[in-house]
Amino acid sequence: MSLVHTIHFSPATSSRRRFPAHSIASLRRRVFPVRASLPFPTQKAKYHRELEAAVGIVERACRICVDVNCFPHLLSFFNFTLLFGSWENFDTGNGDGIGQVQSSLLSSDGGIVEKKDNTPVTIADFGVQALISLELGKLFPSIPLVAEEDSGFVRANNLVDSVVSVVNDKRSSSEPLSDDVVLEAIDRGGSAAYLYGKSPATYWILDPIDGTKGFLKGCGALYVVGLALVVEGEIVLGVMGCPNWQNSGDSLGSVMIAHTGHGTWNKTLQVSNDWSRCLVDGCSVVPEARFCIPESQSWDSLPLSRSFTAKNDADSLGDNEIHLLTTCCGSLCKYLMVASGRASMYIQAQRDTAIKVTDWEGGELDLAADQVERRIIYPPGGILVTNGKIHDQILEMISFSSSTV
């Protein structure tokens, strides 16, 4: 579910920066502040209270992800589980704590848990949704939540104890919550929680972990906790937390925010108030742009492939060749790429199922297309996100390519 509407974000480091591995100890020393002041005057920011709360809640949710995700042998564990069906079928015999990873990430029988759409899910997904639902419900009880998961899946896959444990560990109050309270919090964002109708509505949108497949690869994976507020059909603020985003310099982890009328800003997760203004890159010529696409789609499947050949090496581009970036395009990180100036544009074709910031015809996304649950949108052709300077050029290319098919 995409949380981006109109973004203007800042140039950062080269997209080729490598993402170094970090030890579990160093990751657990990172501080994730609960409250955060904003980088602009709040008296003119209508939704500053909601944004301040959202920043603190998303940062605590990122802490859940780091605690569950960062185990040194997770990648090997994930791969061997795919091969052998269960970790018990492959015994290392070295006492390296793999059992803790297994209990943290998977169902009690050791198998990778999948939803009906065959996408993987972990206790971190449910823990994040429960935590954010609890905190938002306490602060803004009249605003409903649209999220991904429901408690029926947790119950059916023996995940209740693990989910409740991670939520109690990271919530703002020290008093432990019961299983029922945590499961009800998950269901507050479930598909049966609220019916919206045709009129413009006000609600929170949450993607607890966007990029779960990357998350399962272990420490260093790029995934995002995404939260936005829609007021009367318009996105008025958004927060994206990426624990493993490589900032300029040596800092790791980023939270990016936007508030209508106040631009977009980012800061490192472990620093409470180091906000910097975000700006997109200055590319105004399509052949010089840096492109990113979903990992699930190929360049040849997109209409621009009729005009350009894509190459990953920026130093060896010839005529009618463009630079296709290979990093962090499997989650909301692709929007961070455009927002931070590391990419000029992101393009995604419509898939066989409905996609969860214009469409390919240049129209704004209709957030009320799903009049009942507000969970899906139907952009004609697909989604296009750019720095603004090349947007119309790309739309013209898409239109021309479509008319010649």
Active site residues: 125, 212
**Residue among 235, 268, 247, 312 nearest 30 (CA):** 268
For residue 255, give the nearest of 238, 237, 267, 272 by alpha carbon: 267
Instruction: Consult the annotation and say whether 179 binds a ligand.
Output: no
Give how far Cα 90 sits from Cα of 78, 87, 199, 219, 231, Å. 12, 5, 55, 22, 51
Q: Is 209 annotated as a binding residue?
A: yes
Coil, strand or helix: which one is 7? coil
- Is 45 within 8 Å of 261 (Cβ atoms)? yes
Tokens 């049966």, located at residue: 192
Closest Cα to residue 241, out of 228, 259, 250? 228
Q: How far is CA 144 from CA 12, 19, 45, 152, 317, in A?
A: 35, 37, 22, 19, 49
CA distance 69 to 170: 15
Task: Give the C-alpha separation, 122 to 65, whole Å.
Answer: 10
β-strand 252-259 against 234-246: which pairing, if any? antiparallel
CA angle 125/131/133 to nearest 5° reads 100
Fill in the amino acid letter for 137.
G
Cβ-based neighbours of 11, under 8 Å, separated by 6 or more? 279, 280, 281, 282, 340, 341, 342
First to last CA, the chain: 30
Task: Tell me 365's DSSP state.
Answer: P
The dihedral over CA atoms of 216, 218, 223, 224, expressed in degrees to the nearest 10, equals 100
C-alpha–C-alpha distance, residues 62 and 27, integer Å: 12
DSSP 292-317: E--TTS-GGGSGGGGT-EEES-GGG-
- Binding site membership: which residues? 148, 207, 209-210
- Binding site membership for Mg(2+): which residues? 148, 207, 209-210
